[in-house]
Structure formats: C-alpha cells, structure tokens
Amino acid sequence: MRYKVVPEPRSVAFLRDVQSALPLVPGTVADCCSRIRDRTDLQSRDEAREYLTFVRALGLAAGHDRGYSQVRDGPADGELGARFRENVFGARETLEVLEETRTAMECFEVVRDTVPRWERERHVDWAAVWRERTERLLAWAVEFGLASHENGEYRLRES
C-alpha cells in the first residue's frame, strides 16, 4: 500500500520526535494526534495527523485495530529513503525523473501525466495541488539523502 499524505518537509530528527510521541500500547487516532501536537511544535491536530500517516508510511508507526503505536525497532535513519520511495505515492515517480537535473516545476511537468484521474477530479486546481506535492516530495528526497538540491535544481544522488 502506498500512502498519499506528504506533510510539510522537516528533518529526520523531527520524524523521530513524532515517533517517540506515539504510545507503545496502541492509542486512538485522536489520542495519537494530541500526543504528537503536545510533544512537538505542531499547532493543529490536522498537521499531527499528516505526520502520523507519514511516519506510518516510513515504518516508524504501526496501525492496529485499536489505533496506532510507535515501532520501537523500526528502520534506521539510513533506511527511511527506501521506505519513502516505496511507500509514499508519487515518490518513486518523482525520483525517476531526476536522472537529469531538473527544477521542481520541470519535475512536475514530467510526472503530471502520472497523476490519476481521480486525483485530477478531486481538486478544482489539481495542478497547483500537485505542484506543491512535487515540491514536498523533492524536499523529502533531499532530507532522506536520495537527491541533492543546488541553485534551485534537483538531481538524483549517486548511491
């Protein structure tokens, strides 16, 4: 399963703060979001919910019948990039276009045809939503060491 949520880019250390804010025994979504909001600098439960979904995609949180919990022996920081690429919708497609150096807008123009029809019909200005999403995906790719960013351009990092 690939997760669609891509929150505002932050650091891996922040993601670890989100992870540690989660309970060890599964808690409800509302409880988890409150804990994240209270233990980080996030201002709203909606933001906290985005990060909850994102850390789940990265394998730092687990979903259960009763809610969510932190994963104590989850992936190391160096493994988060691979989780991001495989589990976040659009990450793989965005990274694939970075064989050539590109701006965020150029990346969007290349991947725009991969945006599913149901996504295009969800938003009045779907292109604006997906341009922002592409920018966030690129920023996370840089944070996870998958891409470099210099002078407004992105490039896939050598492995």
What confidence tens digit (pLDDT) does each residue in 43-55 have? 999 999 999 999 9
Same fold, 12-70 and 90-156: yes
Q: What is the pLDDT of residues 8-50, one digit of tens each?
A: 999 999 999 999 999 999 999 999 999 999 999 999 999 999 9
pLDDT at 122 over 70: yes
Q: Are 5 and 21 in contact (CB under 8 A)?
A: no
**Highest CATH level, class, for 90-156:** mainly alpha
Q: Which residues contact 98 (CB under 8 A, 6 or more apart)?
A: 107, 141, 147, 154, 155, 156
Q: What is the pLDDT of residues 130-141, one digit of tens each?
A: 999 999 999 999
Cα(96)–Cα(83) distance, rounded to whole angstroms? 15
pLDDT at 92 over 70: yes
- Provide the residue ranges of all domains of the chain, joining segments of one domain with +: 12-70, 90-156
- pTM (2 d.p.): 0.94
What tokens appear for 113 in the block?
Answer: 């045809």
E strands present in 3-145: 61-64, 67-70
Q: Which residue has the tokens 């808690």?
A: 27
| 3-class DSSP state of 27 | strand
CATH architecture type of domain 12-70: Orthogonal Bundle (1.10)
